[in-house]
Amino acid sequence: MQKRTLGRSGLEVSAIGLGCMGLSFGYGPATDRPDAISLIRQAVEGGVTFFDTAEVYGPFTNEDLVGEALAPFRDQVVIATKFGFAFAADGTQQGLDSRPDSIRRAVEGSLKRLKIDTIDLLYQHRVDPNVPIEDVAGTVKDLIQQGKVRHFGLSEAGVATIRRAHAVQPVTALQSEYSLWWREPEEAVLPALEELGIGFVPFSPLGKGFLRGAINAATRFDSTDFRNTVPRFAPEARQANQGLVDLLGAIAAKKRVTPAQIALAWLLAQKPWIVPIPGTTKPHRLAENIGAADVTLTPDDLREIEGAIAKITVQGARYPQHLQALVGR
């Protein structure tokens, strides 16, 4: 697979990474561990070198899974994880916590679970309004100097926070949602990242699965699937948004690829420092995602997509209100 560099950091990764959250958390029952390990290793065989996890996924179980799966390939891969939440004694997630001592404690836990000596890319998972971002960046800077972390990242942060953090410790990457059905980052975030030389890692690049074309208004999700709480996945919103999927299907058919591959290729065409991290639990979907790196969209293709998308208004918020309040700070 072709490689990309995240901003001006020098951190080189595969053009498409693998978001590992869904193997343990968020989209229904966890994948059986042997199958999950097999899928992660299939990604390595397919050329993926960039793997994304977090302590809160599970909590904790996803890091342990990723650590076991990637142990034989440590020198070939880049592992990203995240801190920023508090946990009760039983592991229940209890709100934000980016206090310096908590960051250091989280890093020690992540290193152990991931079975590594250094975290390649460490993100603050969500901006903590109770802790100055300068203190967060300064703590990660210390961890980098100690050799426990290589690169600093932010997730779902707003432009002002990005600038303040970057002034203390250069930010290698911002991770936020970005796709053909969520384009808000284009307004202020992408110009700021380009100015500062920061890479962009879009999560949910396939609209939490919707842009694949396999979900419709009649689809029923498992009771533990968090999409049940997302306004954009209400049946009436899915019905209203079907036109976007139909459009992708028509463009994909002309190019003899899949709608998901068009959606990922579109992201790759936006900037050379954008690296999407689609997640999946299915080997054939993984192969499909990897194949998107070989799909070339011409300027005419991109103009056609832009013109068609401009006629569609996506319905439904991307998060329920309590989660939306945590982003863009």
- For residue 171, tell me if it sits in a domain: yes
CB 159 within 8 A of CB 179: no
- For residue 119, tell me if it sits in a domain: yes
Closest residue by Cα to residue 83 from 119, 51, 115 = 119
> Is the omega angle on the peptide bond into residue 129 within 30 degrees of 0, that is, cis?
no
57 is catalytic: yes
Would you state the pLDDT for residue 89?
Answer: 87
Q: Match 């982003």 to its residue by tokens.
A: 327
Encoding tokens for residue 204? Answer: 């949910």
Q: Match 């426990």 to its residue by tokens.
A: 148
Closest residue by Cα to residue 188 from 168, 160, 207, 167 = 160
With a CB cutoff of 8 Å and minimum separation 6, the contacts of 180 are: 207, 211, 244, 248, 263, 266, 305, 309
Q: What amino acid is encoded at 226 in this protein? A: F
Cα angle, residue 175 at apex, residues 172 and 178 outer, rounded to 5°: 130
Closest residue by Cα to residue 20 from 92, 108, 114 = 114
With a CB cutoff of 8 Å and minimum separation 6, the contacts of 213 are: 245, 248, 249, 258, 259, 260
The answer to pTM > 0.85 is yes
- For residue 221, tell me if it sits in a domain: no
Burial category of 104 from C-beta neighbours within 10 Å (exposed 0-12, middle 13-18, buried 19 and up): middle
CATH code for the domain in which residue 45 is found = 3.20.20.100
- For residue 131, tell me if it sits in a domain: yes
Encoding tokens for residue 268? Answer: 């790759």
Q: Residue 43 belongs to what domain range?
A: 3-207+270-294
H or E stretch covering 5: strand 3-5
CB 214 within 8 A of CB 263: no
Coil, strand or helix at 16: coil
Pairing of strands 199-203, 171-177: parallel
Which residue among 57, 123, 178, 319 is the active-site one?
A: 57
Block mean pLDDT (10 aa), the chain, length 329: 96 98 96 98 98 97 98 98 95 94 98 98 98 98 98 98 98 98 97 98 97 94 96 95 93 96 98 98 98 96 93 93 91
Question: In the chain, how many domains are there?
Answer: 1
- For residue 127, tell me if it sits in a domain: yes
- For residue 250, tell me if it sits in a domain: no
The separation between CA 321 and the C-alpha centre of its own chain, rounded to angstroms, equals 20
- For residue 316, tell me if it sits in a domain: no
Q: Which residues pair with 12 in a beta bridge?
A: 5
- For residue 121, tell me if it sits in a domain: yes
